[in-house]
Every structure is written in structure tokens, then in C-alpha cells.
Amino acid sequence: MADQYPPPTEDYPTTERSRVRRSPKRGTHGRADVHAILDASPLCHVGYVINGAPYVTPTLHWREGEYVYWHGSSASRFLRAAEDMPVCLTCSIMDGYVLARSAFNHSVNYRSAMVFGTARLVDDPDEKNHALRQLIEDLFPGRWDNLRPMTAQEVKATSVLRMEIDEATAKVRNAPPGDIDEADYPVWAGVLPIRSHLASAETAPGMPDNIELPQALADLIASGRIR
């Protein structure tokens, strides 16, 4: 499928909806920039509208080319409400507190991506199976084939939504405080970096002694990343 996607060097369109107004130097519509942020954050927040009112639901998402996916129970109001509707899916990573010499110049180092499109239910069985496999494999490479296979009932009880990215904006701040005009003011300034990592694995109760933590998971923990 990969070759049907636009090349990642081509930007998303700049529209009234997605144009970066505030701090435009922090913003980009570059596909590679948007993809990198989506991929770095397993958690996203999906915004949708019911009866004119906004809802924001946290969920895991994954990406394949120009499509983002998320899933849940087939009975979920959240998934049903988003189907065939305009959606804004936002990923945000806080990389650090930026402490300046004035309150006004305090900031946050962050990476965020807002992507817009229309959510569609994945109803083709093969595509749904492929998508659920990707969810697991993106987080834990090699795990899917070792799992107890999904039953037909489990697949039926799971809904997968897919959204082609119509428009998108990435914003990044990654810098020390921007208050160099007041560098002689006598208070400490700098960045407190925020890091997320995986702590030691907690084996499920009752696990047989001969089943050890797979090397791929040990490597993920050791990497200092969360995906």
C-alpha cells in the first residue's frame, strides 16, 4: 500500500482550519514532521461533536501511511459518535518546563500534532485483522504471532476506526527560555526536561516459572523510550 501515499516531503495543505497563527515559526504542515509526532506518542486525544457539544477521549492510536487508526468496544458511544464524522486527533508530548526570569516568558518544550479528517469504520475483515495486528506489533514487535489468536466473537466485539489525514499541523518548541533581554535578572532560568520511560516489568500473577520476559520487551524497557 505504501506507494499510493503522497511522498512525505509534500506538505499537508495550509487551510483556514489548520493554518498556524500563534508562533508560526513553531508550526509546520510537513508530512514527515506530523508523522514523527504521531508515531512518538502512543496516546492521542480524539475530539468529536455530539449534539453540538465537544468531547475529548483519550485512546491509543497507530498510523499506516496517511491513515491513523484507533479502536475500542463495538458498543462504545465514543466510537459510534465519531463514525463518518469530522474528527480532530491530537498527540502531544511535553518535553520540558521552560523556566524564564519573568512569568510571561515561561513556556513548555513540546511536540504536538493535530490531524483532521473523517473517521470511517473498518468493516472489511481482512483489513480489520491487519489493523489490530498493527496495533500490537507497533508497540511490541514480534508479539502478535505468539498470542492466543483472536476469536471471531472478539473481532466482532471490537471496532476499528480509520481516518485519512486531510489536514494536519505540527508544532514544536525545543529551546532554552527566550528571555535573553533580562538575562541579568537574579533568578535561575533554564529547562527542566520531562522524560517518560518504562519501569521494570510486573509479571502477571501465576505466570509459570519457565516463561520469561521476551527479549524484545526487555530491550524496549532498556531503551528508555515508551515505544
**Could you say which residues in the range 47-66 bind its own copies, by CB under 8 A?**
47-49, 52-58, 60
Q: Provide the minimum distance between the beta carbon of 73 and its own copies in the complex, in angstroms, as a whole number.
A: 6
Query: Would you count residue 202 as binding its own copies (CB under 8 A)?
Result: yes
Contacts of 198 (CB under 8 A, 6+ apart): 220, 221, 225, 226
Instruction: With H, G, I as helix, E, B as strand and everything else as coil, classify residue 95.
Output: strand
**Which one, 10 or 213, has the nearer CB to its own copies?**
213
C-alpha cell at position 161: 476506526
Helical (H) or strand (E) element with 133: helix 125-139
Query: Would you count residue 94 as binding its own copies (CB under 8 A)?
Result: yes
Given 8, 30, 65, 86, the residue binding its own copies (CB under 8 A): 86
Q: Provide the minimum distance between the beta carbon of 189 and its own copies in the complex, in angstroms, as a whole number.
A: 4
Query: Would you count residue 209 as binding its own copies (CB under 8 A)?
Result: no
C-alpha cell at position 8: 512525505
Q: Provide the minimum distance between the beta carbon of 206 and its own copies in the complex, in angstroms, as a whole number.
A: 5
Residue type for position 41: S
Q: Provide the minimum distance between the beta carbon of 4 and its own copies in the complex, in angstroms, as a whole number.
A: 27
Contacts of 27 (CB under 8 A, 6+ apart): 20, 169, 170, 171
Contact region with its own copies (CB under 8 A), list: 3-11, 31-39, 120-128, 177-185: 177-185
Instruction: With H, G, I as helix, E, B as strand and everything else as coil, classify residue 217.
Output: helix
